[in-house]
């Protein structure tokens, strides 16, 4: 079936339903290197047509998991199913997944069209159908005029598109991508994020994407699986992970944040020092909590503005002010141990330059914007 003739519809949680996409079900997947657990009894469900991102720091296990799905490494135990078919022992060429590698893995002695046609040649697709599929793939990635060009004549973004076209030209039901944008500069990387999102919407193929870039994950994903030390910390939509992180690791790894320790009194009120933050926590067992504050949720308030049921107000001293073009931020010390960052837009009047280190600044936070999570026991 042509990549242009697949019938798609919107499914649950805005995930695209495609008749050719396959769900992935992983249970108890474990991989050890010596005494180190790269994957520690991992469970994961990827819906048919979903774009799921594995996000974590270096050494977290995200690439190990992707390579296990692709068949390039053999887990010690567990199950990987594509649809109803167990794949744990299947070699890579039997899994029929499209793969985009970090370094693209293009053949320098072949033209663009020959690179894209290579998976079709392996599958003994006839020359007429192969040419048609290659032409369609080139059109999909906006490289129709470059089929005869050599790989060394392409830019980084063009090579990325060739790698993508080669990965989906044979109509795989699952597409795997291992940090494919990491070698691109910031502007091109952000452009390719949008293009990849649009391509996924067009193809509807189940996609598992690996990155350590949290902004990239937030931009592209239907859901994000945050992984650390071979275990999942949280699996949720980008909005849920950003606004309701499960624990301090997720809160710190996804976006910018400050975390302030809070104590709970016998009435269930949470305090940062003497400042009331929230009430209604009397039924919960955790005694210590953290207040997570995103810089963009803070706003400057006038000296005369009091705290209220809707607004928490912190008072501090500006330690640093940084201008970054379209935005600026101030680092504000609210105690000897804790700082808050406030981020705001800039304008041509330069009014933001009135903030200077040493000045006192009052910061407001809407109580509805407060993110409260239990403090892990040590």
* Per-residue pLDDT tens digits of the chain, which is 378 residues long: 344 333 344 455 445 445 579 999 999 999 999 999 999 999 999 999 999 999 999 999 999 999 999 999 999 999 999 999 999 999 998 998 999 988 888 999 999 999 999 999 989 999 999 999 999 999 988 899 999 999 999 988 899 889 989 999 998 999 999 998 887 788 888 888 998 898 899 889 999 999 999 999 999 999 999 999 999 999 999 999 999 999 999 999 998 899 999 988 888 899 999 999 998 887 766 678 999 999 999 999 987 777 788 999 999 999 999 888 888 889 999 999 999 999 888 776 655 556 789 999 999 999 999 999 988 876
> Which superfamily does 9-249 belong to?
P-loop containing nucleotide triphosphate hydrolases (3.40.50.300)
Give residue 349's pLDDT: 62
Q: What span, in angstroms and rounded, lies between the C-alpha atoms of 316 and 363?
A: 8
Q: What span, in angstroms and rounded, lies between the C-alpha atoms of 257 and 113?
A: 46
**Residue-wise pLDDT tens digits, 194-250:** 988 988 998 899 999 999 999 999 999 999 999 999 999 999 999 999 999 999 999
CA distances from 339 to 125, 129, 297, 316 (A): 62, 62, 15, 8
Cite the residue boundaries of each domain of the chain with CATH code 3.40.50.300.
9-249
Q: What span, in angstroms and rounded, lies between the C-alpha atoms of 114 and 108?
A: 10
Give residue 5's pLDDT: 33
Two tokens at 52? 């799921």
**Residue-wise pLDDT tens digits, 338-356:** 999 998 887 766 555 567 8
Report the b/e string of 124-146 with b at 16+ CB within 10 A.
Answer: ebeeeebeebbebbbebbebeeb
Cite the residue boundaries of each domain of the chain with CATH code 2.40.50.140.
256-374
Indicate left, alpha or beta for 147 from its phi (over 0: left) and psi (-120 to 50: alpha).
alpha
Report whether CATH 2.40.50.140 matches the domain 256-374.
yes
Q: What span, in angstroms and rounded, lies between the C-alpha atoms of 12 and 50?
A: 10
Give residue 9's pLDDT: 43
pTM of structure: 0.87
Give residue 208's pLDDT: 98
């Amino acid at each position: 079936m042509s990549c242009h003739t697949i019938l798609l519809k919107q499914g649950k949680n805005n995930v695209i339903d495609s008749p050719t996409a396959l769900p992935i079900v992983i249970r108890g997947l474990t991989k050890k290197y010596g005494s180190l657990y790269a994957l520690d009894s991992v469970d994961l469900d990827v819906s048919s047509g979903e774009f799921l991102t594995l996000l974590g720091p270096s050494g977290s296990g995200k690439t190990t998991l992707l390579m296990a799905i692709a068949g390039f490494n053999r887990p010690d135990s567990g199950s990987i199913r594509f649809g109803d078919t167990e794949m744990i022992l299947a070699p890579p060429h039997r899994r029929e997944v499209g793969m985009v590698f970090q370094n693209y893995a293009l053949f320098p002695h072949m033209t663009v069209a020959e690179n894209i046609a290579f998976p079709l040649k392996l599958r003994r697709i006839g020359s007429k159908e192969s040419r048609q599929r290659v032409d369609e793939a080139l059109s999909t990635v906006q490289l129709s005029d470059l089929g005869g060009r050599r790989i060394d004549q392409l830019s980084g973004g063009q090579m990325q598109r060739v790698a993508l076209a080669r990965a989906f030209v044979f109509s795989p039901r699952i597409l795997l991508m291992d940090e494919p944008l990491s070698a691109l500069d910031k502007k091109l990387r952000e452009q390719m994020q949008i293009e990849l999102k649009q391509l996924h919407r067009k193809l509807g193929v189940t996609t598992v994407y690996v990155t350590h870039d949290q902004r990239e994950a937030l931009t592209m994903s239907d859901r994000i699986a945050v992984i650390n030390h071979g275990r999942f910390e949280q699996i949720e939509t980008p909005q849920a992970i950003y606004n309701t992180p499960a624990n301090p690791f997720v809160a710190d790894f996804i976006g910018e944040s400050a975390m302030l320790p809070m104590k709970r009194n016998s009435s269930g009120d949470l305090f940062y020092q003497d400042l009331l933050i929230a009430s209604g926590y009397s039924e919960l067992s955790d005694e210590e909590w953290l207040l997570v504050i995103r810089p963009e949720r803070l706003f400057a308030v006038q000296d005369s503005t009091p705290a209220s049921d809707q607004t928490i107000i912190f008072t501090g001293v500006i330690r640093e002010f940084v201008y970054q073009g379209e935005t600026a931020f101030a680092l504000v010390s609210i105690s000897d141990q804790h700082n808050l960052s406030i981020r705001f837009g800039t304008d041509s009047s330069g009014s933001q330059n009135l903030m200077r280190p040493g000045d006192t600044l009052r910061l407001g936070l809407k109580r509805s914007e407060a993110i409260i999570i239990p403090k892990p026991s040590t």
